[in-house]
Amino acid sequence: MEDCVFCAIRKGEIPSTKVYEDKDFMIIKDINPQAKVHLLAIPTNHVPYLDIMTDDGAALLGKIILKISKMQEELGITDGYRLVVNQGDNAGQTVNHVHIHIMGGEKLKDI
Ligand code: 5GP
Ligand code: ZN
C-alpha cells in the first residue's frame, strides 16, 4: 500500500532488522523500543485497522499469537511477554497497518 512504512519494509524499500519472515507475516525490531525486547509482528496483507479486519485476517492474528508463543526462546522473551495492538487515535496508533507489539526481555511495568 502506498506510503505505508510497514509495506515498504516488507518490500525491502526501508531497512529494518527482521527477526522472522514467512509469506503471511514478519517480525521486526521496533525502531524506538519501549522495552528491552520490543518487536512488531506485521501481517503481509495491508489492513489499516483492527476494526475492519476480515475473519481470515483475524484468524491470521490468532496464528501469529500462537507462533510467538512457540518462538519465545529465539525472540528473547522466555520469562514472559506482553502483546499490544493499538487501535485508533486514543490508543496512539501511528502506523495504519495492523500490527502486534511484542514486549519483554525484562520485568515490564504494570498496566
Ligand atoms: P503504533 O503506535 O502504530 O501501534 O506502533 C507503530 C510502531 O512502529 C512504533 O512503535 C514505532 O516505533 C514503529 N516504527 C515506526 N516506523 C518504523 C520504522 O521505520 N521501522 C521500524 N522498525 N519501526 C518503526
Ligand atoms: Zn501496509
Residue-wise pLDDT for 45-97, tens only, equals: 999 999 999 999 999 999 999 999 999 999 999 999 999 999 999 999 999 99
Q: Is 111 within a domain?
A: no
Q: Is 110 within a domain?
A: no
Q: In angstroms, rounded to a whole number, what is the distance separating the alpha carbons of residues 63 and 34? A: 24
- How many helices, marked H, and strands, marked E, lie in the chain? 3, 5
DSSP string, 75-101: HT-TT-EEEE---SGGGT--SSS--EE
| Cβ of 96 less than 6 Å from ligand 1 | no
| Cβ of 91 less than 6 Å from ligand 1 | no
Domain holding 75, by residue range, is 5-104
What's the domain count of the chain? 1
Index of the ligand 1 atom closest to the CA of residue 5: 19
Q: What percent of the chain is modeled with pLDDT above 70? A: 99
- Identify the pLDDT of residue 89: 95
CATH assignment of the domain containing 71: 3.30.428.10
**Is the confidence at residue 1, as pLDDT, over 70?**
no
Q: What percent of the chain is modeled with pLDDT above 90? A: 97
Q: Is 27 within a domain?
A: yes
Set of cell numbers at residue 62? 490468532
